[in-house]
Structure 1
Amino acid sequence: MRRATGVELAVREYARLGEGPTWDPAGRRLIWVDILGSRVHTYDPASGRRTVMATEQHAGAAKPRAGEGLVVNLRDGIGLYDADGAFSWLVHDPVPGRRGNDAAVAPDGALWAGTMRYDEAAGGGTLTRIAPDGTATTVFPGVAVSNGTGWSPDGTLMYYIDSPTRRVDVCRVDGERVVERRPLVAIEPGAGFPDGLTVDTDGCVWVALWDGAAIRRYTADGTLDRVVELPVRRPTACAFGGPGLRDLYITTARTGLTRPHPLSGSLLVLPDAGQGLEGVPFGG
């Protein structure tokens, strides 16, 4: 196992709950959200250009759409933003006390969107597959804090995190169905809670550890082979971006911290960390 440092500041920000970094290849920019700030941020590392867009509600995740615009996992469902900022609901499913959380786009262009209760009650969340036409199929009912989701390079395996379980699960998928689910990794007590994840071209899974001040890389058989140590206590998720998808971007949070590190809430980057997979935009 290797330990790595060398993390740098990409964007200084004071996000309450930064989350969901996603590389947009068409726009050559990174997209991420401040969930509790109801903001979608973008960053072009080549030019340094940034944008910030206010959303209708708390935004758990934002992903690029085929063509232009964004699909956003909001408090009350799945919203679509056109390139000019016009908003419409694709799925409107408000549940009192519940909000959207992490989400990911599958290789077939469907959005797999998680929810959770604000009080993080067990069984109050879901993982739902949203087809490009808006058809919603609940894949995992009764989760607590639906978080990291990603696919193996060949698209046959899905990795998934329900944070309070302290596990990274691996699922065999067949289109819109999960046909098998089993634990891949258990995070030991005291190391934090698994949050967001990304998968690289080697099929390894990079996991952000909330309250663990680290990103961990696990091989496809669950072996820990790399730890990226961070100055901030609450990393939330990670994704590859930049030229050649070589740089690992890391979102972070300030919420709940009495004395947050000065970089808490900022976007961090580990240059030349590995090789990321090319993302797929939402098909709707």
Structure 2
Amino acid sequence: MKAERLTETIAYHGEGPVWFPSLRRLRCVDMLHGAILTLDPADSGSGLIGRDRVERTPVGSPIASVLRPRVGGGAVIATESGISLARTDDLSDLTPAVELFRDERLRTNEGGCDPEGRFYVGTMAYDRTEGAASVYRWDGPGSEPRTVIAPVTTSNGIDWSPDGKRAYYNDTPTMTVWAFDHDPATGLGRRRPWVTIDEHAGRPDGLCVDAEGGVWVALNKGSAVHRYAPDGTLSEIIDVPVHQVTACTFGGADLDQLFITTSRENLEDHEEPAAGSVYVVRPGVRGLEARPFAG
């Protein structure tokens, strides 16, 4: 299958798409420009959604890396080195809530919420130093963030199986999708390699899980999203007409559309003019609602 372009170029480094059911809108981040982007896929009509139809909300930080709905409304957002919270859906009361680390060599990068509503935030070094990063878990106000995966190099997509018993995770340079056992009380448990990505296919970036337990992996520099069945076999390839494919999520009223973000990081103006757009495809399987933050 081939993904279709949904928007004009709206981001320098589009990442972290998530469907907000309460708004019936797609949100994603322009990660390296520190902004949240909100759009209505229905605005496309018969053409592309223009930049003037995309709401842009700065987060007060050079980085906006992870975004999830919050139980009761609002959102949780990972910024360069911390986490901010909003109670309102328009994000007008976005406020810093907790600091994750104090190390100017690092920034946050990707994450998500587990079935219990706990927030996971990965990191990476600006210079991509091997083993310098980790993944934090924050249970909400009144708790301290804790390190749950370390060491890693470029922490990327994380999501959970429909029954919540397994988590899938990408540390990009390992070229491996990792599986973890997941326990409601203790969180992530035993870790093992689940799928190895061929070096010619691209680099594993963001991921999401569908209602049948299939895992969709965005392949940066691979112009594709791959679906892996629950047994780890490759079951679908979505072609995307730009190289830097960063992340994907299911959305729409029936959760039957796969939205795909892309990046123009390090590209010249004349290179891949459609990079930095959002793409969409109906892959014939439904997704799961993004798990909200319970804190």
> Which bin holds the TM-score, normalised by the shorter protein?
over 0.9
Write the letter of the residue equivalent to 1:79: S
Partner of 1:52: 56
Matches within 5 A, 1:1-284: 4-5=1-2, 7-47=3-43, 50-57=54-61, 58-83=63-88, 85-92=92-99, 93-133=101-141, 134-175=143-184, 176-258=186-268, 260-284=271-295
Is the 2:9–2:273 Cα contact (8 Å) retained in structure 1?
no
Would the aligned equivalents of 2:224 and 2:237 in 1 still touch at CA under 8 Å? yes
Instruction: State the Cα distance separating 1:129 from its structure 2 match.
Output: 1.1
- 1:147-188 Cα deviation digits (max 9, x unpaired): 010000000100000000000011101134322111111111
Separation in 2, partners of 1:202, 1:272: 13
Q: In the TM superposition, what is the alpha-carbon distance from 1:68 to its structure 2 partner?
A: 2.2
Mapped to 1, the partners of 2:13 and 2:284 lie a distance apart of 24
1:255-275 Cα offsets, whole Å, 9 max, x none, are 023453121001111135420
* 229-238 vs 177-186, which moves further: 177-186
Q: Is the 8 A contact 2:59 2:94 kept in 1?
A: no
Which piece of structure 1 moves more, 150-159 or 274-283? 274-283
- Between the aligned residues of both structures, percent identity stands at 39
Consecutive unaligned residues of structure 1, counting only runs of 5 or more, are: none
Normalised to the residue count of structure 1, the TM-score between the two structures is: 0.94
Residue deviations 1:97-132, cap 9 Å, x none?
A: 111110111111111111111111111111111102
Q: Secondary structure at the match of 2:173?
A: helix
Structure 1 letter corresponding to 2:109: N
1:192 aligned partner, one-letter code:
G
Contact 2:65 2:79 in 1 (8 A): yes
Q: Any unmatched runs of 5+ in structure 2? A: 45-52
Range with bigger deviation, 99-108 or 127-136: 127-136
Structure 1 residue 137, shift from structure 2 partner: 1.8
SS of residue matched to 1:46: helix
After TM superposition, give the deviation of residue 279 of structure 1 in Å.
2.1
1:15-54 residue CA offsets vs partner (Å, 9 max, x unmatched)? 1211001111111111100111111001122356531101
Greater strand share, structure number = 1
- Number of positions where the alignment pairs a residue of Structure 1 with one of Structure 2: 280
Residue 59 of structure 1 aligns with an amino acid whose one-letter code is A
Native 8 Å contact 1:72 1:80 kept in 2: yes
Asked if structure 2 preserves the Cα contact closer than 8 Å seen for 1:150 and 1:158, the reply is yes
For residues 263 and 242 of structure 1, the distance between their equivalents in structure 2, rounded to whole angstroms, comes to 23
**TM-score with structure 2 length normalisation?**
0.91
* Aligned mates of 2:204, 2:238 — CA distance in 1: 14
2:16–2:28 contact (8 Å) kept in structure 1 = yes
Q: Out of 259-268 and 235-244, give the one that drifted further.
A: 259-268
1:280 maps to amino acid: R
8 Å contact kept, 1:248–1:274: no
CA RMSD for the aligned pairs? 1.5
